[in-house]
Chains A and B, each alone.
Chain A
């Protein structure tokens, strides 16, 4: 069965410092991988995706993520965090054969000024 794990409920980082939000997955084959961000009482916004090609993908707002096939991970990163990055981040996977997207439990990022 497909699953996505985000081991940290919350990540705290000081503004200007690099941030990492972790994600590991369990899906057969080569899945599509996504990161979405959710602000309070809002729907999710797409940040970035990995389909194929370079393992390091760049997305919106300066975020990037690194696909590591051997570790089945897709960690979200940003070199310098902003207070406005504080939000709930979801990692998601989709089997290439189907349409369903499975989400992780979410990680709340808190960036302190």
Chain B
């Protein structure tokens, strides 16, 4: 099946620094990628929808200047958490939708655990 690679799996950073998370579709082209945030024992919260070659669409309440999303190619989307603060600590998961797919399911990366000190 289709594989989505997310890197890094875990990152610890100091408050005020920026962290970049990569999401790659390894064996398919992803027209659309989604970024989710998950708090402990809670569901996935959709942060933004990323379309290749265009600006990301952010969900209400998500700061676009803080969570920068770039989807420069059909196989790569990046999420940069700028000027990270401890409250940004969370589990971030990307997912991808295959271009022209008819099965409609999403393929998920393995997630990135971000800890901001």
- Chain B interface size range: 20 to 34
Asked if residues A42 and B43 are in contact (CB atoms below 8 Å), the reply is no
Q: Is B113 an interface residue (CB 8 A)?
A: yes
CA distance A100 to B34 in the complex (A): 8
Partner of B106, one of A51, A101, A105: A101
Cβ A102 vs Cβ B93 within 8 A = no
Given A43-B6, A99-B97, A106-B43: A49 touches B107 (CB 8 Å cut-off): no
What total of A-B pairs shows CB separation below 8 Å?
A: 54
Judge if A94 is at the interface, Cβ distance under 8 Å.
Answer: yes
The chain B residues found within 8 Å of chain A, CB to CB, are 4, 6, 9, 32, 34, 41-44, 46, 49, 91, 93, 95, 97, 103-111, 113
CA distance A16 to B4 in the complex (A): 33
Contact yes or no, A99 B42, CB < 8 A: no
| Contact indicator B42/A106 (Cβ below 8 Å) | yes
Residues of B within 8 A of A45 (CB): 108
Beyond A43-B93, A43-B108, A99-B32, 12 extra complex contacts between A and B, CB < 8 Å:
A36-B108, A41-B113, A42-B111, A49-B103, A49-B105, A51-B103, A90-B43, A90-B44, A99-B97, A100-B46, A101-B46, A101-B95
Knowing A49-B103, A49-B104, the reply to whether A101 touches B111 (Cβ < 8 A) is no
Q: Are A102 and B46 in contact (CB under 8 A)?
A: yes
Whether B104 contacts A32 by the Cβ 8 Å rule is yes
Tell me which residues from 35 to 49 in chain A have a Cβ below 8 Å from any Cβ of chain B. 36, 41-46, 49
- Would you give 22 A-B contacts (Cβ < 8 Å), ordered by A? A41-B9, A41-B111, A42-B111, A43-B6, A43-B110, A44-B93, A44-B106, A46-B105, A46-B106, A49-B103, A49-B104, A51-B103, A90-B44, A94-B104, A99-B32, A100-B34, A100-B46, A100-B49, A101-B95, A103-B43, A103-B44, A106-B42
